[in-house]
Structure 1
C-alpha cells in the first residue's frame, strides 16, 4: 500500500501533514507574491515611459488578474482529471514562459507586448494558486485547514518584499523621478531614454526564470498525495464526477458561498488597488523623492503585511477568526478614510498600516468559504471559483484609476478600496451573526429537551 493511502482519509484530507511536501508547496506562495509586487513597480515605470493615465497603468493589473480569472476553471479541470501536482507543474511552465516574454517585449518596446507577457505569467499563477491554495488546506487534518492555509500564505509577503527589492535596485534607477528627467529632454532624447529604461525591466525576470527552473525540477522529483475524495467503486462514475453545470448550480444555490465569493472579489481588488497606487501616492505627496525612494514604502507595506499575518494567526488561534477579521475590517476602513483626507505623507503611512490589516483576509475568506461546500465532490471547482474571484484585482484598480483621472486626485480614489472594505466587514459580521443564531437555536433545543 502506498504512503498516501496510509495517511489519506476518505474526504481527501490527510491524517497528518507531510512536512517536506508542505514546505515545498508553501514555497510557491512567495513566487506569486514576487510576481504581483513587481507589477506595482512596473506600473510606476510604465506610467512615465509610455506616458499613461492612471487608468491605463491599472491595465497591468487587469492583464495580470484577468489571466487568473480565465484559467481558474481549466486549472480545476486539470486537477480533477490529473492531480494537484500536475497543475502546479503546468503553472510553473507558464510562469517561466511569461518571464521569458519580457525579452521580446523590451525589444519591441510596446505596452501591449508587456501586457501579453504579464498575462502569460498570470496563466501560470492561475494554475499555481488554484492548485496550491486548496492543496495546502487539505494537506493535513481537516480541523486545521484554514490554519495551514494561513501558514502557507504567510510566505507570500516574503516573495512580495523580494519582488519590490528586485524592482527597486534592478528596474528603478538613481536620480530624479522619471517624469522630471523626461521633462528636461527633447522628444528624441526622451525616446532613447525610455528605451533604455525598458531594458531595465528585464533584470528581475532573469533571476525569476532561474529560481523557477530549480523549483520545477524539485517538484518533478517529489512524490505528493492526491488529497482527493476517495470514490465509492460501487457508485457510478457519473454520480461521482459532477459536470460543470451541475457544480455551478450546486454552488450558485449556496448563499454563503456566493457571499464569500463577493467578499473575496472585493478584498483582492482593494488589496491590489492600494498596493498599485502606494508608490504613486508617495510621489504625488512628495516632489523630492524618486521612484526608487518611493518603492521603500512598498517594502514597508509588505513587511507590515507579513507581520499582520503573524499577529492574525496568533489572534485567530485564540479567538474566532470571523470576529478578528470583523475588527480588522473596521480598522482598515478607518485607515483608508484617513488616506482620503490627510494632507501630508501620513497618508502613505496609513496605506502601509492597511497592509497589516490585509494579512489574514485572503486565506480566511478562502478557507471559510471552501468549508461551506459540504459536498466534497465539488471542492476542486469551488476552489477554482474562489481563485476566479481574484479578477477583482483586474477590475477594482482600474476603477480606482478611473476615479483618480476623473477627480484629478490619487487620494480621493482611495474611496474605492474603502467601500470594498466596508463590504468585507459586513460579510464577517453576517457570518458571526449566523453562528450566534445557530448557537442560540441549539441552546433552546437543549433547554426544551431537559424541561
Structure 2
C-alpha cells in the first residue's frame, strides 16, 4: 500500500528500487520509529523487576512471573479495541492514546511504591501494557504500509531494530538504578528480622523502582504532545468512511498464513520474554554470579539482539525474509538445546547468543502475517499483536517448571518448543501463500 496526502507523493509500487522510506514522510517515520525504542525500555525493565520483586516482596519465581502476565494481558485485552478505534480515527489517534496510557501507568509506580502492595504494581504494569497495545497495533502496520509493499519486511525490521536499543537501556537502567547489589543470606535476614530492620530494608528496595518509571512517564507524555502537533500522512484505507467495508474478522479465516502467524507470534513472544525474564536467574544458578553481573550479561544479550535486528534489515536485501527466519530458528533450536543440556558457562553463552538469532522473528512474522490482507490489515494486525499474550502464558510456565524441578535450565525447554513452531512456519510459509493466492484467484 502507499501513502497519500496533499503534500506527500510517494513513488508508485513496483519500482525497480523502491525507497525504504518514501519522500515526505521522514519526520512521522522518525517519531514512530522512536516508539519502538520507547516501548523496549519497560519491556526489559520487567526482567529486572522480576528479580527485584522476588527480593522486596519475598516472592517465589512463579509469583514474580506474574509481572509478565499482568503486562502482556494488557496487550491481549486492548489490542482489538485499539484496532477498532483506529479503524475509525486513524493511526495517529492510536499513537496519542497509547502514549498517554503508557505515561499514566509509569506514573502510577509512585503511589504503588508508597502503598507497598505488589498487586498495585501489577495494576500499573497492566495500564502501561494497555498503552503499548495501542502503540504496537498502530506502529507495526503503519511502518509496513507507509511505503512499497516489497520492502515492508525490511522497513519493519529497520524500525524494530531500535526496539532492542530501548531494551538495552531498560536493562542497564534497571541494573544500575534498581539493583542495590545487596543480596541477603538466610542468616542475615533472620538477624535483621530480630533487630526489626528487615521491613525497612524491603521498603527501601521497593522504592528503588520509582525513579526510572517517573522519568519514562514524563518522556511518554512529552512524545504524545509532539505527535499531536505533527502532521501525519494518511495511509491508504486508514480511515473508515461511513458505509465503507473495512474488513471482517470472519474474512481472516481464509488466510492460513495469517492464522499460522498468530500461533508463531504467540510462541515467539513467549520464547523471547521467557528467555530474558529468567536469564538473570539462569546466570546466578548456573555460574553463581551476583545480580549486578547477571544484569550486565542481560544487557549484553540485548545488545546481541540489537545487532541482529540491524543486521537482518541489511541481509534481507539479498535473502528472502522467511528463509532467513527459517535459518535463524534452526540455529536457535540448537543453541537452546545446549543451554538446557549443559547448564553453566557453555549453556549461558548458548542462551546469550539466541538473542541475536531471535531478533528477526517478531517483525518478520508480523510482516508475513499481514501480507495480502488488504482491507483486513488493521484488524489482522491487532490479532497478531494480541498473540503477544504468549509472554503472559509461557513465562509463568517456565517459572513453574523451574520451581518444580529446581532447575532453571529445564525451564528453557519452553522456548525450545517455541522455536520448533517458528521453524515450521518459516519453512511452510511460501507453500501456504502460493496455495492461498491460487484459492483467492479461483
Say yes or no: TM over 0.5. yes
Give the aligned partner of residue 17 of structure 2: none
- Report the Cα offset of residue 321 of structure 1: 1.3
Deviation at 1:178, TM superposition (A): 7.7
Q: Equivalent residue of 2:407, what SS?
A: coil
Q: Which moved more, 1:222-231 or 1:205-214?
A: 222-231
* Residues 260, 146 of structure 1: alpha-carbon distance in 2 compared, 3 angstrom cutoff: same
Which residue does 1:227 correspond to in 2? Answer: 235
Query: How many angstroms does 1:212 deviate by?
Result: 1.6
Q: For residue 109 of structure 2, what is the aligned residue in structure 1?
A: 102
Tell me the secondary structure at the aligned position of residue 235 of structure 2. Answer: coil
Deviation of 1:230 (Å): 7.7
**Which of 70, 75, 80 in structure 2 is aligned with 1:63?**
70
The 3 A distance-change label for structure 1 pair 238 and 400 is same
In the superposition, the TM-score normalised over structure 1's length comes to: 0.89
- CA displacement at 1:348 relative to structure 2: 1.9
Q: Paired residue for 1:385, among 383, 386, 411?
A: 383
Aligned twin of 2:245: 240
Mapped partners of 1:17, 1:321: distance in 2: 27
- The correspondence for 1:88, drawn from 88, 95, 105, is 95
Shift of the alpha carbon at 1:24?
1.1
Tell me how far apart the structure 2 counterparts of residues 158 and 119 of structure 1 sit (CA, whole Å): 23
Paired residues for 1:247-262 under 5 Å: 247-262=248-263
Unaligned runs of 5+ in 1: 442-451
Which residues in structure 2 correspond to 1:262-281 (within 5 Å)?
A: 262-281=263-282
RMSD, aligned CA: 2.5
Structure-2 change in CA distance of 1:131 and 1:178 (3 Å): farther
- Change over 3 Å in CA distance of 1:402–1:229 after alignment to 2: same
Query: 1:8–1:73: structure 2 CA closer, same or farther, 3 Å change rule?
Result: farther
Show the counterpart of 1:311: 311
Query: Structure 1 residue aligned with 2:213, among 180, 205, 212?
Result: 205
- Using the TM superposition, name which of 223-232 and 394-403 deviates more: 223-232
CA distance in 2: counterparts of 1:392 and 1:183, whole angstroms: 39
In structure 2, how many angstroms separate the alpha carbons of the residues matched to 1:8 and 1:179? Answer: 66
Check conservation: 2:401, 2:411, Cα contact below 8 A.
Answer: yes
Partner Cα separation in structure 2 for residue 282 and residue 72 of structure 1: 34
Q: Distance in 2 between matches of 1:178 and 1:154?
A: 40
The equivalent residue for 1:163 is 170
Measure the CA separation in 1 of the matches of 2:233 and 2:187: 55
Counterpart contact for 1:8–1:227, Cα < 8 Å: no
The match for 2:344 is: 344
Aligned to 2:423: 425
CA contact (8 A) 2:8 2:25 kept: no
Does the 8 A contact of 1:340 with 1:412 survive in 2? yes
Moved more, 297-306 or 184-193: 184-193
Any conservation in 2 of the 1:17–1:140 contact (CA below 8 Å)? no
Distance 2:342 2:251 in 1: 46
Compared CA separation, residues 150 and 194, structure 1 to 2 (3 A): same
TM-score (norm 2): 0.91
Contact 2:322 2:429 in 1 (8 A): yes
CA–CA distance in 2 between the matches of 1:113 and 1:217?
28
| Partners of 1:91 and 1:180 in 2: CA distance | 46
Q: Distance in 2 between matches of 1:348 and 1:232?
A: 50
Alpha-carbon distance, 1:135 to partner: 0.7
Match of 1:3 in 2: 6
Match of 2:83 in 1: 76
Tell me by how many angstroms 1:311 deviates. Answer: 2.4
- How many corresponding residue pairs? 428
- CA distance, structure 2, for counterparts of residue 406 and residue 388 of structure 1: 29
Query: Which has the higher mean CA deviation after the structures are superposed, 70-79 or 209-218?
Result: 209-218
More moved, 172-181 vs 380-389: 172-181
Of stretches 376-385 and 426-435 in structure 1, the one that deviates more from structure 2 is 426-435
Q: Which residue of 2 aligns with 1:356?
A: 356
Equivalent residue for 1:394? Answer: 392
Deviations 1:217-256 (A, max 9, x none): 21111100121328998xxx445244xxxx2211123222
2:404 equivalent among 403, 406, 411: 406
What displacement does 1:184 show? 5.0
CA distance in 1, matches of 2:186, 2:275: 22
CA–CA distance in structure 1, aligned partners of residues 400 and 354 of structure 2: 22
CA distance change for structure 1 residues 42 and 378 in 2, over 3 Å: closer, same or farther?
A: same
Q: Is contact 2:89–2:239 with CA below 8 Å preserved after alignment?
A: no
- CA displacement at 1:191 relative to structure 2: 1.6
